[in-house]
Amino acid sequence: MKIFLDTASLKEIREAATLGVVDGVTTNPSLLAKEQGEPEEILREICDLVDGPISAEVVATDAAGMIREGKHWASLHENITVKVPCTVAGIQATKALSGAGHKVNVTLIFSPTQALIAAKAGATFVSPFVGRLDDIATPGMEMVADIVRIFANYDYPTEVLAASLRHPMHVLEAARMGAHVGTMPVAVFHQLLKHPLTDLGLERFLADWEKAKKELGAKAR
Protein backbone atom coordinates (compact mmCIF):
# COMPACT_ATOMS: atom_id res chain seq x y z
CA MET A 1 0.00 0.00 0.00
CA LYS A 2 1.25 3.46 -0.83
CA ILE A 3 1.54 5.82 2.12
CA PHE A 4 0.53 9.46 1.73
CA LEU A 5 0.79 12.10 4.45
CA ASP A 6 -2.36 14.10 5.10
CA THR A 7 -0.87 17.47 6.04
CA ALA A 8 0.34 20.76 4.59
CA SER A 9 2.98 21.24 7.31
CA LEU A 10 6.43 21.47 5.71
CA LYS A 11 8.08 20.68 9.04
CA GLU A 12 6.07 17.47 9.46
CA ILE A 13 6.60 16.40 5.85
CA ARG A 14 10.34 17.16 5.95
CA GLU A 15 10.79 14.98 9.07
CA ALA A 16 8.63 12.08 7.91
CA ALA A 17 10.17 12.06 4.42
CA THR A 18 13.59 11.18 5.90
CA LEU A 19 12.34 7.58 6.38
CA GLY A 20 12.16 7.23 2.60
CA VAL A 21 8.77 5.50 2.56
CA VAL A 22 6.39 8.41 1.92
CA ASP A 23 4.78 8.07 -1.51
CA GLY A 24 2.74 11.27 -1.69
CA VAL A 25 0.89 14.01 0.20
CA THR A 26 -2.75 15.08 0.39
CA THR A 27 -3.72 18.62 1.35
CA ASN A 28 -7.11 20.24 1.58
CA PRO A 29 -8.24 23.86 2.13
CA SER A 30 -8.52 23.34 5.91
CA LEU A 31 -4.97 21.93 6.14
CA LEU A 32 -3.48 24.71 3.97
CA ALA A 33 -5.37 27.37 5.96
CA LYS A 34 -3.53 26.23 9.13
CA GLU A 35 -0.11 27.02 7.60
CA GLN A 36 1.67 30.37 7.24
CA GLY A 37 2.46 31.46 3.70
CA GLU A 38 1.07 31.38 0.19
CA PRO A 39 -0.58 28.06 -0.73
CA GLU A 40 1.26 28.04 -4.08
CA GLU A 41 4.63 28.34 -2.36
CA ILE A 42 3.76 25.68 0.23
CA LEU A 43 2.63 23.26 -2.50
CA ARG A 44 5.80 23.86 -4.52
CA GLU A 45 7.91 23.14 -1.44
CA ILE A 46 5.95 19.97 -0.70
CA CYS A 47 6.66 18.85 -4.28
CA ASP A 48 10.37 19.40 -3.63
CA LEU A 49 10.23 17.29 -0.47
CA VAL A 50 8.22 14.30 -1.74
CA ASP A 51 8.53 12.82 -5.21
CA GLY A 52 4.96 11.55 -5.70
CA PRO A 53 1.39 12.73 -6.17
CA ILE A 54 0.65 15.91 -4.17
CA SER A 55 -3.07 16.72 -3.93
CA ALA A 56 -4.16 20.37 -4.16
CA GLU A 57 -7.88 20.99 -3.80
CA VAL A 58 -10.05 23.43 -5.74
CA VAL A 59 -12.42 25.72 -3.83
CA ALA A 60 -14.67 26.76 -6.73
CA THR A 61 -18.06 25.04 -6.67
CA ASP A 62 -18.91 25.32 -10.40
CA ALA A 63 -17.28 23.13 -13.05
CA ALA A 64 -15.72 25.99 -15.04
CA GLY A 65 -14.18 27.45 -11.87
CA MET A 66 -12.90 24.03 -10.76
CA ILE A 67 -11.30 23.45 -14.16
CA ARG A 68 -9.67 26.90 -14.09
CA GLU A 69 -8.34 26.42 -10.55
CA GLY A 70 -7.32 22.84 -11.28
CA LYS A 71 -5.25 23.91 -14.27
CA HIS A 72 -3.61 26.58 -12.13
CA TRP A 73 -2.69 24.04 -9.43
CA ALA A 74 -1.44 21.60 -12.07
CA SER A 75 0.79 24.29 -13.60
CA LEU A 76 2.78 24.53 -10.33
CA HIS A 77 4.45 21.12 -10.66
CA GLU A 78 4.09 17.91 -12.67
CA ASN A 79 3.31 15.94 -9.48
CA ILE A 80 0.28 18.02 -8.53
CA THR A 81 -2.95 16.03 -8.45
CA VAL A 82 -6.05 18.20 -8.67
CA LYS A 83 -8.49 17.41 -5.89
CA VAL A 84 -12.17 18.01 -6.60
CA PRO A 85 -15.23 17.30 -4.46
CA CYS A 86 -17.62 14.54 -5.49
CA THR A 87 -20.45 16.77 -6.72
CA VAL A 88 -22.09 17.06 -10.15
CA ALA A 89 -19.76 19.96 -10.98
CA GLY A 90 -16.83 17.99 -9.55
CA ILE A 91 -17.53 15.04 -11.84
CA GLN A 92 -17.83 17.36 -14.86
CA ALA A 93 -14.51 18.95 -13.90
CA THR A 94 -12.94 15.49 -13.38
CA LYS A 95 -13.96 14.44 -16.87
CA ALA A 96 -12.51 17.64 -18.38
CA LEU A 97 -9.29 17.70 -16.32
CA SER A 98 -8.53 13.99 -16.75
CA GLY A 99 -9.31 14.31 -20.47
CA ALA A 100 -6.73 17.09 -20.64
CA GLY A 101 -4.15 14.77 -19.08
CA HIS A 102 -4.25 15.99 -15.47
CA LYS A 103 -4.25 13.68 -12.46
CA VAL A 104 -7.48 14.05 -10.44
CA ASN A 105 -8.32 12.96 -6.89
CA VAL A 106 -12.09 12.94 -6.30
CA THR A 107 -12.56 13.71 -2.63
CA LEU A 108 -15.34 13.77 -0.02
CA ILE A 109 -16.53 10.32 -1.09
CA PHE A 110 -18.98 8.69 1.31
CA SER A 111 -20.53 5.91 -0.81
CA PRO A 112 -19.35 3.23 -3.28
CA THR A 113 -21.66 4.61 -5.98
CA GLN A 114 -19.99 8.02 -5.77
CA ALA A 115 -16.65 6.25 -6.29
CA LEU A 116 -18.03 4.35 -9.29
CA ILE A 117 -19.11 7.59 -10.98
CA ALA A 118 -15.76 9.23 -10.20
CA ALA A 119 -13.86 6.29 -11.72
CA LYS A 120 -16.00 6.45 -14.86
CA ALA A 121 -15.16 10.16 -15.15
CA GLY A 122 -11.46 9.27 -15.26
CA ALA A 123 -10.35 9.95 -11.67
CA THR A 124 -6.77 8.91 -10.88
CA PHE A 125 -7.74 8.47 -7.22
CA VAL A 126 -10.97 8.36 -5.24
CA SER A 127 -10.84 9.39 -1.58
CA PRO A 128 -13.40 7.61 0.62
CA PHE A 129 -13.47 9.34 4.04
CA VAL A 130 -13.41 6.51 6.59
CA GLY A 131 -13.18 8.43 9.86
CA ARG A 132 -15.95 10.87 9.03
CA LEU A 133 -18.35 7.97 8.34
CA ASP A 134 -17.26 6.25 11.57
CA ASP A 135 -18.02 9.57 13.31
CA ILE A 136 -21.68 9.16 12.38
CA ALA A 137 -21.81 5.50 13.40
CA THR A 138 -21.55 4.16 9.83
CA PRO A 139 -18.72 1.67 9.16
CA GLY A 140 -16.37 3.59 6.89
CA MET A 141 -14.16 0.62 6.12
CA GLU A 142 -17.05 -1.33 4.54
CA MET A 143 -17.24 1.44 1.94
CA VAL A 144 -13.52 1.00 1.20
CA ALA A 145 -13.96 -2.78 0.78
CA ASP A 146 -16.91 -2.24 -1.59
CA ILE A 147 -15.01 0.25 -3.73
CA VAL A 148 -11.92 -1.98 -3.96
CA ARG A 149 -14.16 -4.89 -5.06
CA ILE A 150 -16.07 -2.82 -7.63
CA PHE A 151 -12.90 -1.41 -9.20
CA ALA A 152 -11.39 -4.92 -9.37
CA ASN A 153 -14.59 -6.31 -10.96
CA TYR A 154 -14.22 -3.94 -13.88
CA ASP A 155 -10.44 -3.46 -13.94
CA TYR A 156 -10.76 0.26 -13.37
CA PRO A 157 -7.32 1.89 -13.20
CA THR A 158 -8.57 4.38 -10.57
CA GLU A 159 -6.79 3.90 -7.23
CA VAL A 160 -8.62 3.73 -3.92
CA LEU A 161 -7.06 6.29 -1.59
CA ALA A 162 -8.40 5.55 1.90
CA ALA A 163 -8.70 8.94 3.60
CA SER A 164 -9.74 10.36 6.94
CA LEU A 165 -7.69 7.59 8.61
CA ARG A 166 -7.42 8.53 12.26
CA HIS A 167 -5.40 5.72 13.90
CA PRO A 168 -3.16 2.74 13.04
CA MET A 169 -6.11 0.28 13.02
CA HIS A 170 -7.67 2.28 10.19
CA VAL A 171 -4.43 1.92 8.22
CA LEU A 172 -4.20 -1.81 8.97
CA GLU A 173 -7.80 -2.39 7.89
CA ALA A 174 -7.37 -0.30 4.73
CA ALA A 175 -4.33 -2.43 3.83
CA ARG A 176 -6.29 -5.65 4.54
CA MET A 177 -9.08 -4.42 2.28
CA GLY A 178 -6.59 -3.81 -0.53
CA ALA A 179 -6.79 -0.02 -0.68
CA HIS A 180 -4.06 1.15 -3.04
CA VAL A 181 -3.18 4.15 -0.88
CA GLY A 182 -3.73 5.29 2.69
CA THR A 183 -3.40 8.95 3.62
CA MET A 184 -2.89 9.78 7.26
CA PRO A 185 -1.78 12.48 9.70
CA VAL A 186 1.94 12.38 10.47
CA ALA A 187 1.25 11.25 14.06
CA VAL A 188 -0.51 8.13 12.74
CA PHE A 189 2.35 7.51 10.29
CA HIS A 190 4.85 7.45 13.18
CA GLN A 191 2.56 5.17 15.23
CA LEU A 192 2.73 2.55 12.45
CA LEU A 193 6.39 1.88 13.19
CA LYS A 194 6.41 2.20 16.94
CA HIS A 195 6.25 -0.95 19.13
CA PRO A 196 7.14 -1.11 22.83
CA LEU A 197 8.53 -4.65 22.46
CA THR A 198 10.96 -3.43 19.79
CA ASP A 199 12.24 -0.72 22.15
CA LEU A 200 12.43 -3.14 25.07
CA GLY A 201 14.09 -5.84 22.97
CA LEU A 202 16.72 -3.42 21.70
CA GLU A 203 17.38 -2.15 25.22
CA ARG A 204 18.00 -5.75 26.41
CA PHE A 205 20.24 -6.64 23.44
CA LEU A 206 22.41 -3.57 24.06
CA ALA A 207 22.57 -4.18 27.83
CA ASP A 208 23.62 -7.85 27.31
CA TRP A 209 26.25 -6.74 24.78
CA GLU A 210 27.71 -4.19 27.18
CA LYS A 211 27.70 -6.74 30.03
CA ALA A 212 29.51 -9.35 27.89
CA LYS A 213 32.11 -6.78 26.82
CA LYS A 214 32.79 -5.83 30.46
CA GLU A 215 33.12 -9.50 31.47
CA LEU A 216 35.58 -10.15 28.61
CA GLY A 217 37.59 -7.09 29.65
CA ALA A 218 37.72 -8.31 33.27
CA LYS A 219 38.94 -11.81 32.21
CA ALA A 220 41.72 -10.28 30.06
CA ARG A 221 43.00 -8.23 32.99
Catalog residues that contact ligand E4P under the rule CB under 6 A: 6, 26, 28, 107, 127, 129, 131-132, 163-164, 166, 183
Is the CB of 74 or the CB of 218 nearer to ligand E4P? 74
Helix H, strand E, coil C: the string for the chain is: CEEEEECCCHHHHHHHHCCCCCCEEECCHHHHHCCCCCHHHHHHHHHHHCCCCEEEECCCCCHHHHHHHHHHHHHHCCCEEEEEECCHHHHHHHHHHHHCCCCEEEEEECCHHHHHHHHHCCCCEEEEEHHHHHHCCCCHHHHHHHHHHHHHHCCCCCEEEEECCCCHHHHHHHHHHCCCEEEECHHHHHHHHCCHHHHHHHHHHHHHHHHHHHHHHHHHC
- In angstroms, give the least distance from the CB of 6 to ligand E4P: 5
Q: Which of 71, 83, 103, 219 is catalytic?
A: 83
- In angstroms, give the least distance from the CB of 78 to ligand E4P: 20
- In angstroms, give the least distance from the CB of 205 to ligand E4P: 38
Is the CB of 85 or the CB of 205 nearer to ligand E4P? 85
- In angstroms, give the least distance from the CB of 23 to ligand E4P: 14
Is the CB of 8 or the CB of 63 nearer to ligand E4P? 8
Q: What's the CA dihedral at 14, 16, 19, 20 to 10 degrees?
A: -70
Is the CB of 83 or the CB of 95 nearer to ligand E4P? 83
- 11 and 28 Cβ atoms separated by less than 8 Å: no
| Residue 41 identity | E
Q: Is 83 a catalytic residue?
A: yes
Is the CB of 52 or the CB of 131 nearer to ligand E4P? 131
- In angstroms, give the least distance from the CB of 220 to ligand E4P: 59
- 53 and 81 Cβ atoms separated by less than 8 Å: yes
Query: Which residues are designated catalytic?
Result: 83
